[in-house]
Structure 1
């Protein structure tokens, strides 16, 4: 007998609907809906009766049904390059934290290397799920004629992160990569280095091109002629690419005294090559990275680098969406650039042996 009642209760819990709650509380299903959605036009006694029925039946309101009735889903979408990458993982963490502060949940779509077609799939999915705002952090983003992103921008607040796509109506958030590249190279110049090589990321990334421009700007400001043989592009931002690029640099410029690597992993790969050749860092060759990943402060020597404030980038992207969602005004969208500061540690030495400046 007891087991029969338990089974009945399980069935009731699993299948409880808003009408079941209404019957238990002896009210209409419209009244249950008003209680669930926090309307004030319900007496305290009725509200308590409905809430008691909800608890007894373990009723879980349908998010889909509630969004249809309220025209709100309280969700934001974020499509990003592989979240296993520290750069994008930090941006996601920042966006999610800011979204929660504003009462939103995040749906995140991560695109792996070589699966760029997934971007369209995720965009379609998020629009179908009626997200109230969209963050797209895909640096290699390119628009097709029928791209769903243009549709998204026309319908909901949209922010593009680390992209050079010019899309009217969308906000853009990025770090100042050109200035970061200039400060990294300028710091090496200030330590009396003149033969400075650079290891770049993939040059189809806007950030890689901007950092390379910053490197060239700093050399020009110092009256140092640019030398193409001192620029080594890589197919990715990883350790192995940094190692191989350093080998190529040393082959073309054996008297190289400094390297600006466009990511910390590229820098660490370059340091591995330098040590394999019997060269000391920073005594023989100075190295500057870009990112400030956690390991950069604990390697030997600690890596001088440019810090990417990616958590702040994600926070700003979510904040822009929240502000636009709360406003009835249509805006054209704007660009927001965050500074990437130079973090001075122990991987750079003055070429003349003097004190670091």
Structure 2
């Protein structure tokens, strides 16, 4: 008996070690994939931007003589071979140097810090709204499958996903700012609140955090009022996806044997959905949330432009117009890193929840 017990324990230890090694190997591989992912995206943007023409010619081509234009191109380094510019850019990027913007001569890294906080704040508002709306409505749609409520909610989800975010933003501004005059139509805060928050020592750039730290209730209310419309416009894009996903997963879970057994014992529909079926059905939602980060960043460009929310999306639209290579490449590189890291965290979460994804 002792020999048999030792053999079983040894086999269990071997299995556990193999599982641990499999998880570690999986996580290392997924983490290392971040580098080529970012490299490919940055490279594509680099060559596409250079294919559209240089910012010096775009800005000064009709105001300078050919000699003056050539001199400016030489000073900016745009007259060098494209491959040389590309390798120099990658070398600088590897050292954390994003260069300087061509149009306003500011450090790209400083611009990313300044406006990145605004985009992050908007993304948090949008995701919070999407979770608060998409998950409960998905549960309702699943509970009343193929009934009027389910049909209405599915139509609501499809409309949210299909409607362009800039059109939805304009519609929200028209209704709640122009017609009803309930909410401000643009900006992150009122001018006086903005100046007060920016002048404070140790400002984070995230207005809600800075307003909470100041202890000024009117400033907090002002920041939240300005965040409602852009947060709802961008959040509805993700809410529609979550609604349909939660509904589909929950319907599948409600048909499981243990749910049928609970239903036969007289458990109410509300209790079946909220207590027994919801938790297993929400596991796949965790992975999808990470994938929606890319959608939020893409939607942020149009949302921030529509509401004059001065974040990275707003600046990206501006720098694309003037073909500012360094600024556009820096913003895209940051977006690529954020999306890649988010997907890595999603992979980690999925591997911890379901061991099958490790192999």
TM-score (norm 2): 0.27
Structure whose residues are more often helix by fraction: 2
Larger radius of gyration: 1
Q: Which one has the bigger strand percentage? A: 1
